[in-house]
Amino acid sequence: MPRKDLLIEAKNVADLLAKRVDDRVLSKAAQLKPSIISIAQRIYDLTTYLSATFNSLAERLGAEERPVMSIGPHLYIVFTDDKIVLIRSRPYSVIVCYDKGKDKITVKTRNGYAIFSPERIVLQKLNMKIEFDPTDVNEITNKYPEIRYLLRFIGKTIEFTLVPLLEKRIGLNI
């Protein structure tokens, strides 16, 4: 599969999750608690960042066919037949991976990870792990403290570590 098509497919997976959260949770904002809206909005924002990342990479890389490319100092993108791996190696390691076979986007750091798929989100930091449906208001309500804590961790990784670097290196626009 061409590299650009794989990047666009990864973007579409992130867009699908954002659309599901918007349609099923954020559209009912008037009837829900502000805390639930806050969690849903954070998930929507993070998936929008991931979507913009994959879209910018697709635009910048064009028809490149090399399996490993350097996008800047300590920033690499690796392609296999059905995976894309974006690696920031220094000073704080962050790995973003799209797996076509499972339609999921994984964001990994030294202390934890997040798996975003249209149906489920898995968040883990050290030994605390939670899995939930981002469109189920009852499940979000029941697991609110854990989701909030773990989303804050992975959100800082994406928003304050990965996005500024990509804005500088590849001209990411959000």
Q: Residue 70: what pLDDT?
A: 87
Q: Residue 11: what pLDDT?
A: 96
Average pLDDT of the segment spanning 109-131: 95
Is it the case that residue 174 has pLDDT exceeding 80? no
Average pLDDT of the segment spanning 29-38: 93
For the chain, the structural domain boundaries read: 3-170
Q: Residue 139: what pLDDT?
A: 95
Name the nearest CA neighbour of 60 among 74, 81, 75, 45. 75
Q: Assign 44 a pLDDT band (cuts: 50, 70, 90).
A: very high
Q: Residue 91: what pLDDT?
A: 82
In terms of phi and psi (left: phi > 0; alpha: psi -120 to 50; beta: otherwise), the region of 90 is beta
52-97 confidence digits (pLDDT tens): 999 998 888 766 778 888 888 889 999 988 899 999 988 889 999 9
How is residue 138 written in tokens? 């009852």
Q: Residue 3: what pLDDT?
A: 83
Q: Residue 146: what pLDDT?
A: 96
pTM comes to: 0.93
Q: Assign 37 a pLDDT band (cuts: 50, 70, 90).
A: very high
Q: Residue 71: what pLDDT?
A: 85
Q: Assign 1 a pLDDT band (cuts: 50, 70, 90).
A: low
Long-range contacts of 152-158 (CB under 8 A, 24+ apart): 153/111, 153/112, 153/123, 153/125, 154/46, 154/107, 154/109, 154/112, 154/113, 154/114, 154/123, 154/125, 155/42, 155/45, 155/46, 157/94, 157/107, 157/109, 158/46, 158/49, 158/50, 158/107
